[in-house]
Amino acid sequence: MDVAKLRSVPIFSSLDSKATAQLGEYLTIHDYPKSARICRIGDPGDAMYVIDVGKVEISITDADGANLTLAELEAGDFFGEMAMLDGQGRSANATAVENSRLAKLTREDFLTFMQSDPRVTLELLTALTNRLRRTDELLRHRVSRNVNQEEAARLTVADRAADRIAEFGGSWKFIIAFLAFLLLWTALNTWIFITHAFDPPPYLLLSTALNMLAALQAPIIMMSQNRQAHKDRLRANLDYQVNLKNELLLSDILRRLDELKRKSRD
């Protein structure tokens, strides 16, 4: 890369012509065809790259296994600086979107150059901070989220207990166990302990217990239903955001197609 192109890169813009020319001596040029993988997550972070020609997609794989594009970089942009600074593995994938030519600056050469001109370090840290802010903003506004996981993260002990009780109260296990209890109660107080029944007919003690059970069970079931209603509202809201995002992306795609059509006509 010539001096003019290097100085157009934001992190090198503060360098004078002499320092930029010195930096150019450390760079090596590499060509990548379209769809070529430049680096993968976990690869050794031994260099950073400056795009001379072409486009590069920076992406990660999220917890759901989907490919998430963090940025699409063009000529004059750079990437790989984070791994180069800390010497750890790559934190994202880099793929050539089209035939690209990249200038590579190794970690060893960068450290050597940094000692001679520390201004580039400040520019690099500033650019790195801005990139982290954009990534954080992107991840914070993602709408493709798992409703069940988000709802489970908010559950309290009372919510879990209400769900367990409501689930058991609406099952055949509860119906069979309850019928068996009623039959046993009436049998004990009608045929077995006729003379010494602890709850003789019309079973007033049993009726009181059933009323108390119904009085407690109803609000517990309502608690679980209210939580399910909140979950449905959250799902509806996420569906709306996904549909809105898809609509915006579709509009952007149509706009790009119109631009390509106009360029082809010209």
pLDDT digits (tens, 9 = 90+) for 139-185: 555 545 555 666 666 677 777 777 788 787 778 888 898 889 888 88
Q: Are residues 81 and 17 in the same domain?
A: yes
User: What are 14-21's contacts with CB under 8 Å, separation 24+?
Assistant: 14/119, 14/120, 14/123, 15/117, 15/119, 15/120, 19/116, 19/117, 19/119, 19/120
Token readout for 199 is 């709850």
Q: Are residues 225 and 128 in the same domain?
A: no
**pLDDT for residue 248:** 64
Residues 179/186, Cβ–Cβ less than 8 Å: no
Q: Are residues 97 and 174 in the same domain?
A: no
Relative to beta strand 56-61, strand 67-73 is: antiparallel
Provide the CATH number for the domain around residue 118: 2.60.120.10
Residue ending a domain, among 140, 158, 184, is 140
How far is Cα 235 from Cα 241, in angstroms, rounded to an integer?
10
**pLDDT for residue 72:** 86
Q: Are residues 210 and 121 in the same domain?
A: no
Q: Quick check: pTM over 0.85?
A: no
Q: Are residues 115 and 166 in the same domain?
A: no
Q: Are residues 130 and 208 in the same domain?
A: no
Identify the H or E element spanning 49. strand 47-53
- When divided into structural domains, the chain yields a total of 2
Q: Are residues 7 and 65 in the same domain?
A: yes
**pLDDT for residue 100:** 92
Q: Are residues 192 and 95 in the same domain?
A: no
Q: Which domain holds residue 163?
A: 147-265
Q: Are residues 173 and 235 in the same domain?
A: yes
Each residue's pLDDT expressed in tens, for the chain with a length of 266 residues: 667 777 777 667 767 777 778 888 888 999 999 999 998 888 887 888 988 889 999 888 765 566 778 788 888 888 887 777 667 788 889 999 999 999 898 888 887 877 776 666 666 666 666 666 665 555 555 545 555 666 666 677 777 777 788 787 778 888 898 889 888 888 888 876 666 777 888 888 888 888 888 888 788 778 877 777 777 777 777 677 667 666 766 666 666 667 666 766 66
Token readout for 235 is 């799902």
Residues 220/158, Cβ–Cβ less than 8 Å: no
Residues 77/26, Cβ–Cβ less than 8 Å: no
Residue ending a domain, among 105, 140, 175, is 140
3-state secondary structure 202-228: CCHHHHHHHHHHHHHHHHHHHHHHHHH
Residue 73: exposure state from Cβ atoms within 10 A (0-12, 13-18, ≥19)? buried
Q: Are residues 28 and 96 in the same domain?
A: yes
Residue 250: exposure state from Cβ atoms within 10 A (0-12, 13-18, ≥19)? exposed
Residue type, 244: L
Residue ending a domain, among 96, 115, 140, is 140
Q: Are residues 134 and 160 in the same domain?
A: no
| Nearest Cα residue to 48 out of 104, 95, 108 | 104
Residue 240 vs residues 66, 154, 235, 253: alpha-carbon distances, Å: 20, 21, 9, 20
Q: Are residues 84 and 45 in the same domain?
A: yes
